[in-house]
């Protein structure tokens, strides 16, 4: 329960950089004054996702949202690059909110293997 609370708190503390499209968010990231804010926001969202995945897999014994290798630690720049590529490949995510777009990109990049039952 503490993990879900921590993940929710982290997500709640991240202030949306803007209420626009993902393309607008990426443009803000390219501005000198917007870079730190957007990277902090992305890092917070990803930390919340990682905590939620730990809770799902560990406490609830359910499949995680995506299966990023445990030894892989992504930087904010890498997350931004993943969003850029995701937007090029799937332009429809442009209207999504940032957490939804990032989750979509993470799920495509780190899919979980389907176990045959």
Closest CA to 107 of 68, 74, 72: 68
- At 113 the pLDDT is 84
**Distance separating alpha carbons of residues 100 and 105, to the nearest angstrom:** 9
Per-residue pLDDT of the chain (117 residues; tens, 9 = 90+): 555 555 555 555 444 444 689 999 999 999 999 999 999 999 999 999 999 999 999 999 999 999 999 899 999 999 999 999 999 999 999 999 999 999 999 999 999 986 544
**3-state class (DSSP) for residue 111:** coil
Beta-carbon contacts of 77 under 8 Å, excluding residues fewer than 6 positions away, are 39
State how far Cα 30 lies from the chain centre: 18
Count CA atoms within 13 Å of residue 90 on its CB side: 14
Is this structure's pTM higher than 0.75? yes
């Amino acid at each position: 329960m503490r993990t879900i609370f921590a993940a929710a708190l982290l997500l709640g503390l991240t202030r949306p950089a803007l209420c626009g499209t993902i393309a607008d968010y990426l443009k803000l990231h390219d501005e000198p004054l917007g870079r730190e804010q957007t990277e902090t926001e992305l890092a917070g969202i990803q930390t919340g996702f990682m905590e939620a995945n730990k809770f799902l897999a560990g406490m609830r014994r359910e499949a995680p949202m995506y299966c990023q290798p445990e030894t892989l630690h992504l930087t904010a720049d890498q997350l931004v690059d993943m969003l850029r590529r995701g937007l090029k490949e799937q332009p429809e995510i442009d209207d999504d909110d940032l957490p939804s777009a990032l989750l979509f990109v993470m799920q495509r990049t780190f899919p979980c293997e389907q176990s045959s039952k």
